[in-house]
Amino acid sequence: MDTDRFSVVFYHTDDKLYTRKAERLTASLKEHNVPYKSKIIKGGKGWWAGCRYMPRFLKEMTNLPVEYLLYVDADTIFHAYPKLIDSFNADLGLRYDGARLWSGVMILRNCLEICDFLDKWIEESDKAEDYKGSDYSLQRVIAQNSSRWIVEKLPWNYDYIVREDEGMLFNTGLPAKTVIAHYPTGLYMHNDRKKAQ
């Protein structure tokens, strides 16, 4: 079987908000001729439950005949073809600020070692508290096994985070080199609800 270089992969819940965001993402992928595979999951169990599904989804996607998976959250938009993936050679690519990892955009080599990594992430996520179900459990797995995988920091323009409620228009006001813009509505909705309590 022939193996392609990569595929973008993402999932979203079946509610109107994330379905609309996924449609927006899909349109941007088609505009820039980026291959992708998506999945709709049942909502209603809360935002963190959707986040905790991430490593399981990625494990499912390792069945795709590709060298790399480029995972993105459903609330991202592509503004250019992701040329970085053509020369990417690490096991994992992540955005991080200092010691803080972010899981909204990731590159994963599709290999047995990464399947093992995903198994460990699933295990760690299952035993974590709700609010530590994705980024924090990911960070723990990498910290506990730091010598096992080559982790590369993604450049800023592959996960440029924008608050959607700041009035930013989708195709204006972004830095010129932005490849993937990220509008993490779920995180801000969750944080805003906590502040209101």
The residues that bridge with 39 in the sheet, in sequence order, are 11
Read off the tokens for 87.
Answer: 């020369």
Look at residue 188 and tell me whether its pLDDT is greater than 60.
Answer: no
pLDDT, residue 194, reads 41
**44-58, 61-75, 119-133: which is most confident:** 61-75
**Per-domain boundaries in the chain:** 4-196
CA distance 122 to 134: 9
pLDDT, residue 191, reads 44
Helix 112-127 to helix 135-144 angle, to the nearest 10 degrees?
Answer: 120
pLDDT, residue 1, reads 55
CA distance 169 to 151: 33
CA distance 116 to 150: 14
Look at residue 173 and tell me whether its pLDDT is greater than 70.
Answer: no
Q: What is the pTM of this model?
A: 0.88
Overall CATH class of domain 4-196: alpha beta
Read off the tokens for 185.
Answer: 């509505």
Biggest alpha carbon–alpha carbon distance for the chain: 54
